């Protein structure tokens, strides 16, 4: 039987996601300043979903669990106010002095629409109150400025083009509503 995609994809993707997270945090000095007093503490990310896509049997996990969810992740806060991925896997040992964030994932189209409109998925926060306040602040105030990063690497013209394409995609997704014949923006016009 083939192994599940997250078992081989996770070790490749998770370190890069950690680098991206640290890039976003370090671009806002206030964010790393809020994290520094919590150095050494852990933040666990867990995922839950009610979405069940129709998949071929070989992609479904043998244990009957929700196999398309990413594995749980644990980050430790570094003295610099950044994150270090310390562990990932199916089970994480319990933590005593940290935080657990449980993120509710929906179907891929809804998640894409939420992402493009600036909405976040539902997140349940459990654990230390002071660290929960910092995590809530980070979720409410940090955004990845892709246009700024592209402008730094390639110049302003490609960055502006990327922004225009992103705006067009965002507007198209906002107009499209599933369950209305696939074309929500269509008006009924009759030919004479």
pLDDT digits (tens, 9 = 90+) for 68-88: 677 788 899 999 999 999 865
Residue 131: enclosing H or E segment and its boundaries? helix 129-141
| Residue 97 domain flag | yes
d(CA 127, CA 156): 43
CB contact set of 6 (below 8 Å; sequence gap of 6+): 67, 68, 69, 70, 71
> Tell me, what DSSP letter sits at residue 3?
P
CB contact set of 44 (below 8 Å; sequence gap of 6+): 72, 73, 74, 75, 92, 95, 98, 99, 100, 101
| Residue 189 domain flag | no
Q: How many CA atoms lie within 13 A of 87 on its CB side?
A: 13
Specify whether 95 is located in the same domain as 152: no
Per-residue pLDDT of the chain (192 residues; tens, 9 = 90+): 444 455 566 667 778 888 888 988 988 889 999 999 999 999 998 888 777 666 555 555 555 555 567 778 889 999 999 999 986 555 566 666 788 989 887 776 777 777 766 677 788 889 889 999 999 899 888 877 777 777 777 777 877 888 788 778 777 766 765 554 444 444 444 444
Specify whether 169 is located in the same domain as 121: no
CB contact set of 135 (below 8 Å; sequence gap of 6+): 43, 99, 101, 125
Specify whether 107 is located in the same domain as 167: no
Taking the complete model, does pTM exceed 0.85, yes or no?
A: no
Specify whether 53 is located in the same domain as 85: yes
Count of Cβ atoms closer than 10 Å to residue 68 Cβ: 19
Specify whether 78 is located in the same domain as 162: no
């Amino acid at each position: 039987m083939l192994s599940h995609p997250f078992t081989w994809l996770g070790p490749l993707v998770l370190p890069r996601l950690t680098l991206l997270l640290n890039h976003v945090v370090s671009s806002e000095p206030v964010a790393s300043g809020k994290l520094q007093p919590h150095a050494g503490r852990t933040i666990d990310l867990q995922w839950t979903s009610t979405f069940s896509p129709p998949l071929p049997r070989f992609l479904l996990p043998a244990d009957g669990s929700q196999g398309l969810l990413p594995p749980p992740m644990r980050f430790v806060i570094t003295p610099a106010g950044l994150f270090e991925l310390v562990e990932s896997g199916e089970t994480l040992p319990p933590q005593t002095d940290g935080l657990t964030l449980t993120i509710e994932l929906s179907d891929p189209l809804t998640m894409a629409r939420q992402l493009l409109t600036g909405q976040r998925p539902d997140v349940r926060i459990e654990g230390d109150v002071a660290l929960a306040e910092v995590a809530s602040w980070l979720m409410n105030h940090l955004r990845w400025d892709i246009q700024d990063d592209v402008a730094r690497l390639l110049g302003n013209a490609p960055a502006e083009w990327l922004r225009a394409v992103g705006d067009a995609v965002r507007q198209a997704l906002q107009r499209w509503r599933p369950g209305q014949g696939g074309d929500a923006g269509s008006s009924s016009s009759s030919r004479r």
